Amino acid sequence: MYAQHIQSAPSIKLPLFQGVSPRVTAQTYHSHRGEYVSIIFELTGPGEFKCGATGMSVKVVGVPEAVEVSRVCEFICYVDPSTGELTYFQHAMLDDEFDFEVYRRLVSLTTKVPQLF
């Protein structure tokens, strides 16, 4: 596992954290405006993230300056209700050997069995 520091935008005031919506992907987070969501990212460059389930690039605003991230992270983000942008709240670094194929299968079950996540 390697860690990298990334640069960010200034701190943003967020609403009170009251829990996470089901795990989302780059294609589904927009439907959770005004909620906190969980999304797995792969770091592709300084401050650049790719959704672990879809491979699509995703912009995250408000990541604190010099935050330490690994190649694979789970981010908790707030989905801005007006812009639909992901705003950083916190993250966890995951093992670089994270199994994306299993994760994709689990995320695809979310619509069929929402209580999974």
Domain range list for the chain: 1-9+27-97
Choose between 70 and 116: higher pLDDT: 70
Task: Give the number of C-alpha atoms closer than 13 A to the C-alpha of residue 36, restricted to the C-beta side.
Answer: 14
Can you read off the two tokens belonging to residue 99? 């199994």
pLDDT for the residue 25:
92
User: Is residue 117 within 8 Å of 23, Cβ to Cβ?
Assistant: yes
Please compute the mean of the pLDDT values over residues 59-83 and round it to a whole number.
Answer: 90
Does the domain formed by 1-9+27-97 have CATH 3.40.50.261?
A: no
Q: State pTM to two decimals.
A: 0.79
Task: Provide the β-strand partners of residue 3.
Answer: 70
Please compute the mean of the pLDDT values over residues 96-104 and round it to a whole number.
Answer: 82
Task: Give the number of C-alpha atoms closer than 13 A to the C-alpha of residue 91, restricted to the C-beta side.
Answer: 26
User: Is residue 19 within 8 Å of 89, Cβ to Cβ?
Assistant: no
Query: What secondary structure letter does DSSP report for 15?
Result: P
